[in-house]
Chains A and B, each alone.
Chain A
Amino acid sequence: MTASLRDRLDHLSPGDRRLLIALSGLAILALLTGIVGGTGVALARAGWIDLIPETGFRLLTLHGVGIFFYWLYLVQGAILLALAAIEAGRGLAARGLAWGGFALMLGGMALSLGAISGGTPLLYNGNPELAEYELGRLGVFNAGYILLGLGLIVLPATGVATLLAAVRRAGEFSAVGFALFAWAGFLMVTGFALVYVFAPGLLWALGLAGMPANHSTNWHIVFHNMHYLPLMATVIVWYVLMQELIGVKSVFGARFSKLVFAAYLVFVPPTSLYHMFLEPDLPGAVRIAGSLLSLFVSVPTLTAFLIIVASLEVHARARGGRGLFGWIRALPWGEPAMAAAGFAVINMAFGIVLAFVLIQADLAPLLSDTFFVPGYFHFFTVGTVSLSFLAALALILPALTWRGLALPGLARFTPHLATLGLLAFGGAGVTAGYMGVPRRVIDAGYGGDAPALWPALMGWVAGGGLLMALALAAFSLSVAATLLPGRATVPPLPHWDAAITPRPGAAALVGPLAVLVIVIGMYAATATGFELMRALPIEAAGGAHGH
């Protein structure tokens, strides 16, 4: 059996540790900042706190910038480099380059947060039309994203150099090594996209070019990448966590896993067409092609889901797990990382069902500007991706600092609570979307003029959002406690004994059944959407808007 993740991280040099700790710490800070902003917006939408619209939009910008841009990308950098370092077995190659990437991302975060601290809130997509009279602010905001983009080109280059050094020594990639290599490449492309999309606004602010005329179309390029990269990273994290926590490797072999990881890079870019469904001049044939291509977008995620669930089930049954779902109880749920990854899998199923409603050409124009969008995407951003990344940090950081999570007994239940909050937030949010409640407003009650159901749904959104935010913040702080000096040394994780060889021909039914349930769910959510919206007394028409 190979050494555990903790043992392998234990051998990293102090320099590598410092870098990984700095990246992780900054990532958690960005997450907590974003949680504060999001909580404020959710409470204001329900009228539980009274905010002037400008403050509400500033909090919304803080939420989007802090979480969607800095948390999700700093933490990916930390996890990528940690896993690459132990994959190579000799630490990071070109660590100075990674520090350069870290400095760029830190500088980017300072500029972005500085720009949104006053003036007109630009929202997280930095729409230049909002900044016509505040060009200096737009320049600083865009410079922040450009530095983030440059950081995303430079920092993963360290991962690539480390993995290439490993191949030069060993002559092969494990499934995880290959996935890290592909992931690093995709991060670098996304960094380039950020620079490409936000450079025109900076040039405009500096007086070197005219107003960017194409920002909303270009925004979708970066948005599409930033959507799917965390999902690719999530399934890599699941793959690693299952090996580490349970000792389970794919029953389909490393080659098939590599094929699935590469499939992300093959399927995701062509599917970006569906973001253009709101463009009025998009030809009909392209709209149809986009609809067909969008069907492929979840193929890699669903396949990875099947691999992981089937592998777990086969191994758990070999250990005596019985019944259709009885084997699930045998997994080590006492570990906070296991609980987080387990609930992430469940939340991803909800997210996929709802995502398929939104990316249909006929429904996208009706739903894209409604609260359906935040209702569904939090199943991914919070329920799937953030829980999975925190699960990874919950294993990586104790191994780097030799200090354990704070209140682990509480931390193990935070994924349960976050999911409960998410079900309220997402369920009410999606229903609100079907009812036509708009997304980007702060007073969703319209001073008492809104339909009676709207404030009630926003109340559920606020309550669910508050629970979700508190649970996620508690989990983050528990993980962040590993960074504080003076805390006790943590004992190694107990290993689940998965060394038992599975029976040949052992059945694994839950994965395929879950996919069947997801497909039925997609059909039901689509049909429900059509029926509910047919009953609305208004006719909706799409415009050129970004998510």
Chain B
Amino acid sequence: MAIDGKDKDMKFDITLIFTVAAVWAVLALAYALAPWSGMIGYAWVWGFGAALFLGLGLALRRASAAHLKVEGRS
């Protein structure tokens, strides 16, 4: 399959969204394991955010794949 600039850009966009999910997941883990009290709320919120951006990244990848399929390139 020939990968044109548009596909490369889409992969870049999807990678950025997954990067956000990864950073937030690490942050949620850090807050969940923090030894001082009261920070578990941060873990819940950033954990929710990590899961949401993971979902958004997957949805974006799926939408991109659907476009490629319509164009007959997948």
Within 8 A of B (CB), among A193-231: 193, 196-197, 214, 217-218, 221, 225
- B56 lies within 8 A of A171 (CB): no
Contacts of B53 in A (CB 8 A): 185, 265
- B45 lies within 8 A of A192 (CB): yes
Interface string of A153-196 (1 = CB under 8 A from B): 00000001000110111111100001001100110110011001
Does B60 sit within 8 A of A, measured CB to CB? Answer: yes
| CA A217 to CA B13, docked complex, whole Å | 34
Within 8 A of A (CB), among B26-43: 27, 35-39, 41-42
| CA A255 to CA B63, docked complex, whole Å | 19
Q: A167-B60, A217-B39, A282-B36 are in contact. Are A172 and B45 (CB under 8 A)?
A: no
Which secondary structure dominates chain A's binding surface? helix
Contacts of A265 in B (CB 8 A): 20, 23-24, 53
Contact of A173 among B10, B38, B46, B66 (CB under 8 A): B10
Q: A262-B19, A269-B46 are in contact. Are A188 and B52 (CB under 8 A)?
A: yes
- Residue on B with the closest CB to A255? B12
- B52 lies within 8 A of A258 (CB): no
Within 8 A of B (CB), among A444-472: none
Contacts of B42 in A (CB 8 A): 221, 272
| CA A218 to CA B43, docked complex, whole Å | 11
Contact of A182 among B20, B39, B71 (CB under 8 A): B20
- B13 lies within 8 A of A270 (CB): no
**What's the interface size class on A, roughly?**
35 or more
- A259 lies within 8 A of B16 (CB): yes
Contact of A270 among B27, B38, B70 (CB under 8 A): B27
Contacts of A160 in B (CB 8 A): 56, 59
- A185 lies within 8 A of B52 (CB): yes
- A168 lies within 8 A of B48 (CB): no
- A182 lies within 8 A of B17 (CB): yes
| CA A279 to CA B28, docked complex, whole Å | 20
- A173 lies within 8 A of B41 (CB): no
- Residue on A with the closest CB to B55? A185
Does A281 sit within 8 A of B, measured CB to CB? Answer: yes
Contact of A171 among B27, B59, B67 (CB under 8 A): B67
Min C-beta distance of B12 to chain A, whole Å: 6
Does A513 sit within 8 A of B, measured CB to CB? Answer: no
- A178 lies within 8 A of B13 (CB): yes
- A281 lies within 8 A of B19 (CB): no
| CA A178 to CA B16, docked complex, whole Å | 10
| CA A192 to CA B41, docked complex, whole Å | 11
- A189 lies within 8 A of B41 (CB): no
- B68 lies within 8 A of A164 (CB): no
- B67 lies within 8 A of A189 (CB): no
Min C-beta distance of B39 to chain A, whole Å: 7
- Residue on A with the closest CB to B64? A167
Min C-beta distance of B41 to chain A, whole Å: 4
Contacts of A197 in B (CB 8 A): 41
Contacts of B16 in A (CB 8 A): 178, 182, 258-259, 262
- A266 lies within 8 A of B38 (CB): no
- B12 lies within 8 A of A168 (CB): no
Min C-beta distance of A472 to chain B, whole Å: 31
Min C-beta distance of A159 to chain B, whole Å: 11
Contacts of A164 in B (CB 8 A): 59-60, 63
Q: A173-B9, A182-B17 are in contact. Are A189 and B36 (CB under 8 A)?
A: no
| CA A233 to CA B12, docked complex, whole Å | 22
- Residue on A with the closest CB to B44? A196
- A269 lies within 8 A of B41 (CB): no
- B45 lies within 8 A of A196 (CB): yes
Residues of A within 8 A of B (CB): 160, 164-165, 167-173, 178, 181-182, 185-186, 188-189, 192-193, 196-197, 214, 217-218, 221, 225, 254-255, 258-259, 262, 265-266, 269-270, 272, 279, 281-283, 286
Residues of B within 8 A of A (CB): 6-7, 9-10, 12-13, 16-17, 19-20, 23-24, 27, 35-39, 41-42, 44-46, 48-49, 52-53, 56, 59-60, 63-64, 66-68, 70-71
Can you spell out 17 A-B residue pairs with CB atoms less than 8 angstroms apart?
A160-B59, A164-B60, A164-B63, A171-B67, A171-B71, A178-B16, A182-B16, A185-B49, A185-B53, A192-B45, A221-B45, A225-B45, A258-B16, A269-B24, A269-B27, A270-B27, A282-B36
Known A167-B64, A265-B53, A269-B24; further 11 A-B contacts with Cβ < 8 A: A164-B63, A167-B60, A171-B67, A171-B71, A173-B10, A178-B16, A185-B52, A189-B48, A270-B27, A281-B37, A286-B36
Closest 7 CB pairs of A and B: A171-B67, A189-B49, A167-B63, A262-B16, A217-B38, A265-B20, A218-B41
